[in-house]
């Protein structure tokens, strides 16, 4: 499955990039391919926005959950943090 | 075991900068290609899109200024060595770059020995600094209120600045799309890489992708 995602993902990203290059260099400025490619590029951007919001909110939730835990100790967390450094 | 890779400061700065930049694409690019992406402007409304675009621009410039000040203080307190190592290209990065390209061409099978940040990641951060923060930031500030600059700059200059702003936006998008592929669609990271949110990276991933840095952190000898 993951290999398949990579095999599909690479041409999709490449296609979106090539479309932008074609439009910007005036080689091809209209047509269905260009419309699909540009919309795909912005769809990828939108996916990134959703992933960014999801990832950030999830990590904030985990942080909040950890701090509300009855056994949470700021001193122990500082010590673990220092050890990791 | 997880290894710390990003500080909480870096995580927050990345989040605000990335969100601002992505919103700038969504609200800015459709204005360049209204015949293909005009539906976005129809959906949001041009005036609202412009307002959101300016708000996101303000967010990106603010975070860039904040991080610049933070970096200056960091350099003064911690010294230049750390920043020189993680930010500026080194001779090892040039060697890695050559080796990477040779292996893509099938001329070499050598394992790449990346440090904490690879040449590609350093290239990406420099493209964000130069293209998105400096060029887009300065041209964006001028286009934010063009009437304020009309007495200083002739109209032809303002038109050129608009062209530069639009062209570099396209260049910036072409840089971000491969970044999307690397953090979302590559085999081991699908559906998304979580290290930019948790600030940590798994030991296996660090050993596999950044062997030199991994050895430095763990004190492991070269295999």
| Calpha distance A9→A55 (Å, rounded) | 20
Instruction: Indicate yes or no: CB of B177 within 8 angstroms of CB of A47.
Output: no
Top residue of A12, A51, A66 to mutate, by most chain B CBs within 10 Å, is: A51
What is the nearest CA distance from A74 to chain B, expressed in angstroms?
16
**Taking 80 as the threshold, does the pLDDT of residue B187 lie above it?**
no
Structure confidence at residue B16 as a pLDDT band (50, 70, 90): very high
| Calpha distance B214→B187 (Å, rounded) | 21
When pLDDT is averaged across residues B165-190 and rounded to a whole number, the result is 85
Over the stretch B131-152, which tens digit does the pLDDT of each residue have? 989 999 999 999 988 888 888 8
Which CATH superfamily groups domain B2-218? Transmembrane di-heme cytochromes, Chain C (1.20.950.20)
Which regions of chain B does DSSP assign to beta strands (E)? 2-4, 200-202
Which residues of chain B lie closer than 8 angstroms to A56, CB-CB?
15, 197
User: What pLDDT does B219 receive?
Assistant: 80
In the numeric block, the tokens 């969504």 are attached to B26
When pLDDT is averaged across residues B169-178 and rounded to a whole number, the result is 89
Domain ranges of chain A: 2-84
Instruction: Indicate yes or no: CB of B186 within 8 angstroms of CB of A6.
Output: yes
| Calpha distance B171→B153 (Å, rounded) | 25
Instruction: Indicate yes or no: CB of B29 within 8 angstroms of CB of A41.
Output: yes
Size of the A and B interface in Cβ pairs below 8 Å? 98
Under an 8 Å CB criterion, which residues of A touch B?
A: 2-3, 5-6, 9-10, 13, 16-17, 20-21, 23-24, 30, 34-35, 38-39, 41-42, 44-49, 51-56, 58-59, 62, 81, 84-85
- Measured CA to CA in angstroms, residue A44 lies from B138, B171, B180, B196 at distances of 27, 16, 8, 18
**Taking 60 as the threshold, does the pLDDT of residue B184 lie above it?**
yes
| Calpha distance B58→B64 (Å, rounded) | 10
Q: Please give the residue of chain A at the shortest CA–CA distance from B199.
A: A59
Instruction: Indicate yes or no: CB of A52 within 8 angstroms of CB of B37.
Output: no
When pLDDT is averaged across residues B165-194 and rounded to a whole number, the result is 84
Nearest to A17 among B11, B25, B177 (CB): B177
Q: Please state the pTM of the whole predicted model.
A: 0.86
DSSP-derived 3-state class of residue B107: coil
- Token couple for B180: 């999307």
User: What pLDDT does B80 receive?
Assistant: 79
Instruction: Choose between B82 and A31: higher pLDDT.
Output: A31
Q: Please give the residue of chain A at the shortest CA–CA distance from B5.
A: A85
Which residues of chain A lie closer than 8 angstroms to B198, CB-CB?
59, 62
> Is B221 exposed, middle or buried (CB count within 10 Å of its CB: 0-12, 13-18, 19+)?
exposed
Nearest to A13 among B4, B25, B181 (CB): B181
What is the nearest CA distance from A24 to chain B, expressed in angstroms?
8
ipTM: 0.80
Q: How many of the other CB atoms lie within 10 Å of CB of B20?
A: 20
> Is B28 exposed, middle or buried (CB count within 10 Å of its CB: 0-12, 13-18, 19+)?
buried
| Calpha distance A1→B148 (Å, rounded) | 55
When pLDDT is averaged across residues B34-58 and rounded to a whole number, the result is 93
What is the nearest CA distance from B173 to chain A, expressed in angstroms?
8
In the numeric block, the tokens 């000040």 are attached to B69
| Calpha distance B47→B60 (Å, rounded) | 20
Secondary structure string (H, E, C) spanning chain A: CHHHHHHHHHHHHHHHHHHHHHHHCCCCCCCHHHHHHHHHHHHHHHHHHHHHHHHHHHHHHHHHHHHHCCCCCHHHHHHHHHHHC
């Amino acid at each position: 499955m993951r290999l398949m995602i990579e095999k599909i993902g690479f041409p999709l990203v490449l296609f979106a990039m090539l479309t932008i290059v074609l439009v910007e260099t005036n080689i091809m400025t209209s047509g269905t391919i260009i419309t699909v490619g540009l919309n795909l590029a912005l769809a990828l951007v939108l996916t990134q926005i959703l992933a960014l919001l999801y990832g950030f909110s999830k990590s904030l939730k985990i942080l909040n959950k950890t701090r509300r835990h009855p056994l949470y100790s700021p001193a122990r967390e500082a010590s673990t943090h220092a050890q990791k450094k | 075991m997880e290894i710390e890779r990003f500080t909480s400061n870096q995580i927050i700065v990345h989040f605000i900068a990335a969100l601002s930049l992505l919103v700038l694409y969504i609200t800015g690019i459709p204005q360049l290609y209204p015949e293909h992406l005009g539906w976005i402007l129809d959906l949001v409304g041009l005036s609202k899109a412009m307002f959101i675009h300016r708000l996101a621009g303000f967010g990106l410039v603010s975070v860039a200024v904040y991080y610049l000040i933070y970096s200056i203080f960091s350099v003064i307190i911690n010294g230049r060595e750390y920043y020189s190592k993680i930010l500026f290209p080194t001779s090892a990065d040039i060697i890695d770059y050559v080796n990477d390209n040779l292996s893509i061409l099938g001329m070499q099978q050598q394992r790449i020995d990346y440090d904490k940040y690879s040449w590609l990641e350093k290239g990406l951060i420099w493209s964000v600094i130069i293209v998105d923060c400096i060029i887009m930031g300065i041209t964006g500030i001028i286009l934010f209120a063009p009437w304020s600059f009309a007495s200083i700059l002739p109209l032809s200059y303002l038109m050129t600045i608009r062209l530069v702003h639009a062209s570099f936006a396209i260049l910036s998008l072409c840089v971000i799309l491969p970044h999307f592929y690397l953090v979302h669609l590559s085999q081991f990271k699908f559906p998304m890489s979580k290290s930019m949110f948790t600030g940590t990276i798994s030991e296996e991933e660090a050993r596999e992708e950044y062997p030199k840095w991994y050895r430095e952190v763990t004190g492991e000898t070269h295999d």
